[in-house]
Each structure stands twice: as C-alpha cells, then as structure tokens.
Amino acid sequence: MTSFTDRVKASLREALLEAATELLAERGYAGLRMADVAARSGVSRQTVYNEFGNKAALVQAVALRTASEFLDGIRQRVEVAEDLLTAIHRAVVYTIEHARENRLVAAALGTEAGEDLLPLLTTKGEPILTAAAELAAGQYLEFEPELSPASAALLAETVVRLSLSHLTLSTHSAAEAADAVVAVLEPAIARFTAQDSHPSTME
C-alpha cells in the first residue's frame, strides 16, 4: 500500500509538472524559470530544485509525462483493433490528432515561444522515440506472432519516425497521414512475416 508520504510526494511532483507544462506552453524553454514553476505551484523555488535538480531535468520529466499520456492513448486504441494494419492506422491518427490538441506539443509546433521545445520531439527526442517504439513492437508481436522481435522493432521504429515526420511537418490530415504510413508498411509487414516464418525459403 502506498504510504501517505509517498502520495503527498507524488501529488507535489504532479503539481510541479503541471505548472511547468503550462509555463512551457506559454513561454517556451528559454522563458521557463524554476521560480515561476514554484510560484504557480505555491511552493518554494528550492522545493522545485530538490525534486528535479535543474531546469533541463524538469523539462525532460515534462516531456516524458506528455509521452506517457500519448502512449496510454495509443495502447487503448491498438488493443481493440482487428488486425495489425488497423492498429497502426489508429495509432498514427491518434498521435497526430492528440498532438494538435495537446497544449505543449501544439505550442512546440505552432508558436514562436514554443519553437525551442521542438528538439524534444526531434533531435533530443530519443527517450520518447525509444519508449514509443518498444510499446509498438510488443503490440505488433501480439498481432503477428510470426514476426521476429528484430522485424517488429524495425517496423515499430519506422512507424514512430514516420508519425513524427507527419506531425512536425503537417501537410495532410491525420487520416491521410495514417493512410500513407499503412501503404508504406503493408508490403514490408507481408515480407517480414513470410521471411520470419519461413527463413529458409527467403535465402
């Protein structure tokens, strides 16, 4: 059972992350100050430093929290899909639609203040990419047990990277982007499934 102290600590951390998320969406990374996070949360600045250490660690925690929300949404949609291609399509649609509604991601993609947050999704986004790809690979193996773990991992990373590409350079609707990802992946999935289930015939 979680102790009262643990619950209080978790509640404080959540309040600090929520305040930081709001401020990042409003002001971007450069405009975020630990003192402002503290003031918005009703605690001392030292409390914020004690919890996260520095601004970079705080922002990384915000990014991982946001990613966790996305992954939970993806998991729920994939679990009720009829097949792997449908699962991929639903995951891509959800990722893009939810990103456009999420205040932090929307700020990173569409506001001047949030431009310095974009690397969290791209050049500095490895923790997010890795977590998303690992989740997807596990789901793919449930739909297609004949896939090897290596093939599932490659397909998953490809889907995540394509989704991020469509997200950061939005030229299509979420459904159109998902259609494009599925069109690219469908022959690859068929080939990997055949190859991994009958490796000797593919040599």
Instruction: Using alpha carbons, list the distances in angstroms from residue 109 to 43, 103, 178, 179, 189.
Output: 31, 10, 19, 22, 31
Q: Are 13 and 48 in contact (CB under 8 A)?
A: no
Residue 199 DSSP SS3: helix
Place of tokens 């402002």: 36
In tens digits, the chain (203 residues) has pLDDT values of 567 677 878 899 999 999 999 999 999 999 999 999 999 999 999 999 999 999 999 998 998 888 888 899 999 999 999 999 999 999 999 999 998 888 888 888 877 767 788 777 666 667 778 888 999 999 999 999 999 999 999 999 999 999 988 988 878 899 999 999 999 999 999 999 999 887 655 44
Q: What is the pTM of this model?
A: 0.81
Buried b (16+ CB within 10 A) or exposed e, 12-37: beeebbebbbebbbebbbeebebebb
Q: How far apart are CA 164 and CA 173, in angstroms?
A: 14
Distance from C-alpha of 7 to C-alpha of 91, rounded to nearest angstrom: 32
